[in-house]
């Protein structure tokens, strides 16, 4: 059985968000709270937080989960690399739409591999 949920954990100044299955709005809210905690902790260490979102195991979002995620993106300023969508055109379309609605499309970048995403994030000062 595929797990459902969202993992949020730091490695250095990179905050990893790994989505499994089809997370609901409650799960997204919990992930956002954990992400905000990690941002504060990294900033307290004098580092700039960056984020890598891995959607390779994601099976989409319902309407409420998309709304919660999009609303949270409107408040953010953390450079974010998104990976794991190359085989899911429908998910790519939804995520692109969410990013455009956020008004912060310049801080999001898509990558074909996690390694390339990490290289980009490590280059940000």
DSSP 84: S
- Which tens digits make up the pLDDT trace of 68-95? 887 787 777 899 898 887 676 776 777 7
Task: Report strand pairing: 5-11 vs 14-21.
Answer: antiparallel
CATH of domain 5-123: 3.30.750.24
- Selection from 30, 16, 11, 9 nearest residue 72 by Cα: 30
Q: In which residue are the tokens 């995620």 written? A: 69
Q: Where are the domains of the chain?
A: 5-123
pLDDT tens digit string along 4-58? 789 999 999 999 999 998 889 999 999 999 999 999 999 999 999 999 999 888 8
């Amino acid at each position: 059985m595929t797990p459902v949920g969202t993992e949020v954990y730091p490695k250095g100044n990179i905050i990893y968000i790994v989505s499994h299955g089809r997370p609901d709005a409650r799960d997204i809210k919990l992930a956002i709270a954990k992400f905000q905690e990690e941002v504060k902790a990294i900033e307290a260490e004098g580092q700039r937080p960056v984020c890598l979102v891995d959607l390779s195991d994601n099976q989409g979002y319902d309407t409420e989960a998309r709304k919660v995620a999009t609303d949270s993106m409107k408040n953010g300023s953390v450079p974010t690399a998104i990976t794991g969508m190359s085989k899911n055109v429908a998910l790519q379309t939804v995520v692109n739409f969410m990013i455009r609605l956020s008004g912060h499309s310049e801080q999001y970048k898509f990558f074909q591999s996690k390694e390339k995403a990490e290289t980009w994030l490590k280059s940000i000062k």
